[in-house]
Amino acid sequence: MDARLNPLSFPASGKALKHLIAASTALAASGVPNATKELVRLRASQINGCAGCVDMHTKEAAHAGETAVRLHLVAAWREATVFTEAERAALALAEEGTRIADAAGGVSDEVWADAAKHYDEEQLSALVWDIAIINAFNRLNVMTRQPAGDYQPGQHG
Give the pLDDT band of residue 91 (cuts 50, 70, 90). Answer: very high
Residues above pLDDT 70, as percent of the chain: 97
Q: Determine the Cα–Cα distance for residues 99 and 135; give it in Å rounded to an integer.
A: 10
List the one residue out of 27, 23, 50 whose CA is nearest residue 142: 50
- Give the pLDDT confidence of 54-70 residue by residue, as tens digits: 999 999 999 989 999 99
CATH class, range 31-143? mainly alpha
Give residue limits of the domains in the chain: 31-143
Return the H-helix or E-strand segment holding 13.
helix 11-26
Q: What is the pTM of this model?
A: 0.92
- Give the pLDDT confidence of 108-130 residue by residue, as tens digits: 999 999 999 999 999 999 999 99
